[in-house]
Structure 1
């Protein structure tokens, strides 16, 4: 967790972010259905497979009935079966964000984000708020109406998962990262949905120089309104962690206090993510495994936790069991990017970050 110094160090930390995002996403993808795969059920699955404590990708199901309930992509996401990453929107949006900055620069407009969606992203690979915004764009609406018209998902997690690239390209500049993430987020989200994107981008930007993950979480809170529900929820998890409450009890408390919002809403997922980061305490494996075991939107939370932890540690420090199965290859629905090398994405991201330093 040393400050970013020379260009190779910056590139390694950014590569850590990309690898962490992809590995965390792959870890959580088989159990991505929070109303079915609860925290208790995930741990029961792991016990049946003798995989607790979890230190690697999910094992194959020990029980045939569990296999039926997993996401259909599980056969490409469990340990021993991974050959490159699966396609997923949590990674597609990071790629699209990189392409946006390469195409339009850091002065991009929200309208240009929408134009790039229509040009590069298949409609059926969008979900919830993004699908509503895409439909609104195709029908000729402009931001901010794209976020508000016939869109019941405005505070769900979609904008948060699009924020990483703004953190990666703004090392140690969380306010700038948050401003960029906001400009992207308002295409499809409002309120805590937008604040979630700003918070995540700032968290990743702060991770480049934060002495501990707690410092990064503290810094990220400074970019969103202190009275918003997202900020209050994150601070609540931090306070429970400070009392030395167990990870399990912290999540149980947070779950009770955010009940009724649904498993894809930004607020309960931010609680799971914050707990994973704090109790993971900078250890890459512990961070992503605790976050995924926390349930809810497991692949999205695992991806963001992995991005933060990967930036904190750098790619070289990520254990090989997480990196090697990815084979430096990412699948993507973004036109022109399927099969691209992860290392190439990291180098392109580092060039943008370096140009702005």
Structure 2
């Protein structure tokens, strides 16, 4: 009998383990509309504060930190002065607002094509992945191909990372929804690590609505990124080094620089101290947040003093922390003069901060209701999501920069070059000559040029002289057969009023270049 009883008991236990486990109900958090609005305001205001504070140092400290003795100005009236006199500084803000405006006009189901059309046809100047994406859209290459690294040499750059704030602010407590909102938009101009930068920043914003623990937000948001990616590995290293050197952000900066500062994609940053790569600039955001420990001043100082894109990084860190704290708890020191700037429309938009505060609440309530939450009277109940990793993407796999050869010549008719490798980027730009009667940014002239590789025509490209419509690089090609190659570029419609200036030829091999010491 005892054996029979034990056998029966074991069968019951076995069956219990085989029985499907009930789904875990999502954690719900309830906020008042006023509290939600306060956090949304804190997020947008924090961005403006961080961007303004770091503006004077932007890319003036490539490859080095900004030392403590270097004073960074801040004074009453500074925000308004900057918004009026240097409105182009806020490119990460008005890029954000381009997408917010499309959601406002077309609803939460606005197609990626609408977002791409709005930003590609906007009047503002763009650089790097944004400009490469814009050129692609204007020339018939649609998203996501417009951001793919085979079509965009800047696919891993910081661009979507600095523009993804909207996704997290629209999706309080819902990091997976934030990733979905930004997926199509992020692939207009980025891919791989460049896309992950926006996914991660959006997730940190989202989680900042439901947690006051900076360490938790930084670590939990990283779960939205595939562990196999270099972006994940870089941020995981920063978290590890923070634990190892909890009182020395500079040591963590040095460790980050030593392991992750090599640039493989962005042609401007290869073999140069300049680095606009998403993951290392995201590392500076995280360094600011972790070592700032919830203190707004420390977070601003550290994320800015890490250098490189030192206006966008404190803008992201300030926005995330501002969301966590809420507008009312951002120190008065940092908000001085903010109120007088909140009714000023950002350049190239018809939206001010006060407009965005209200619009942001409207969109967040819509997203909450669409994703299992409820809005009842003054109460907003959020169905908080457990972060899940998005799909794996990696750019420039198997491509290692070998040589960046200076050219510094005009392309009058033809240019020929030989190289040994698997890929190349011919850097340069088309522009009006200084003696031409029209302004460079307004001219409509477009060069037509052919690219021949190993005797075969592979592309006929338009090279606008307009700075807004320009092609960021002249020509490029990756994933070529390993070996020696010849490239030939031929101009089909030369014009004495305009010029194509070639600056450098960057070549790639299938293995890292090793120097014997």
TM range (shorter): 0.7 to 0.9
Q: How many residues of Structure 1 are paired with residues of Structure 2 in the alignment? A: 320
Correspondence list, 1:72-111, <5 A: 78-80=74-76, 82-84=78-80, 85-86=82-83, 87=87, 88-111=90-113
DSSP 3-state at the match of 2:337:
helix
Correspondence list, 1:294-333, <5 A: 294-326=306-338, 327=340, 328-333=342-347
DSSP 3-state at the match of 2:242:
helix
* 2-structure distance, mates of 1:335, 1:241: 40
* Offset, 1:4: 6.0
Matched, 1:241 2:252: no
Relative to structure 1, the CA distance from residue 343 to residue 238 in structure 2 (aligned partners, 3 Å threshold; closer, same or farther) is same
- 2:70 alignment partner, one of 28, 42, 45: 45
- What TM-score, normalized by structure 1, do the two folds share? 0.85
Contact 1:24–1:302 (8 Å) recurs in 2: yes
Deviation string 1:6-54 (CA, Å, 9 cap, x unpaired) is: 00000000000011000000011100015558314x43422xxxxxxxx
* Offset, 1:258: 1.1
Relative to structure 1, the CA distance from residue 98 to residue 252 in structure 2 (aligned partners, 3 Å threshold; closer, same or farther) is same
* 2-structure distance, mates of 1:257, 1:329: 44
Which protein is richer in helix relative to its size? 1
Contact 1:182–1:195 (8 Å) recurs in 2: no
Correspondence list, 1:123-272, <5 A: 124-148=124-148, 150-245=151-246, 246-261=248-263, 262=269, 263-272=275-284
Contact 1:156–1:265 (8 Å) recurs in 2: yes
Deviation string 1:89-141 (CA, Å, 9 cap, x unpaired) is: 1111221122122122222222111111134x21x521111111111211222
Contact 2:300–2:318 (8 Å) recurs in 1: yes
DSSP 3-state at the match of 1:5:
strand
Matched, 1:356 2:367: yes
Contact 2:322–2:330 (8 Å) recurs in 1: yes
Which protein is richer in strand relative to its size? 2
Give ranges in structure 1 of 5+ residues lacking alignment: 47-57, 60-77
Give ranges in structure 2 of 5+ residues lacking alignment: 1-28, 264-268, 270-274, 369-517
Contact 1:4–1:208 (8 Å) recurs in 2: no
Contact 1:185–1:197 (8 Å) recurs in 2: yes
Contact 1:163–1:181 (8 Å) recurs in 2: yes
* Offset, 1:216: 0.9
- CA RMSD, 1 decimal: 1.8
Relative to structure 1, the CA distance from residue 330 to residue 181 in structure 2 (aligned partners, 3 Å threshold; closer, same or farther) is farther
Deviation string 1:170-192 (CA, Å, 9 cap, x unpaired) is: 00000100121122110011110
Greater mean deviation of Cα atoms: 300-309 or 97-106 = 97-106
Deviation string 1:42-83 (CA, Å, 9 cap, x unpaired) is: 43422xxxxxxxxxxx22xxxxxxxxxxxxxxxxxx535515
* 2-structure distance, mates of 1:36, 1:224: 27
Matched, 1:288 2:293: no
Contact 2:95–2:119 (8 Å) recurs in 1: no
Compare relative contact order (CA 8 Å, sep 6+) and give the higher one, 1 or 2. Answer: 1
Relative to structure 1, the CA distance from residue 331 to residue 257 in structure 2 (aligned partners, 3 Å threshold; closer, same or farther) is farther
Q: Which has the larger radius of gyration?
A: 2
Give the match for residue 72 of structure 1.
Answer: none
Deviation string 1:121-166 (CA, Å, 9 cap, x unpaired) is: 21x5211111111112112221223223652111000011111111
* 1-structure distance, mates of 2:152, 2:54: 26
Contact 2:144–2:184 (8 Å) recurs in 1: no
Give the match for residue 411 of structure 2.
Answer: none
DSSP 3-state at the match of 1:286:
helix
Greater mean deviation of Cα atoms: 140-149 or 86-95 = 140-149
DSSP 3-state at the match of 2:168:
helix
* 2-structure distance, mates of 1:234, 1:193: 14
- What TM-score, normalized by structure 2, do the two folds share? 0.59
Contact 1:4–1:209 (8 Å) recurs in 2: no
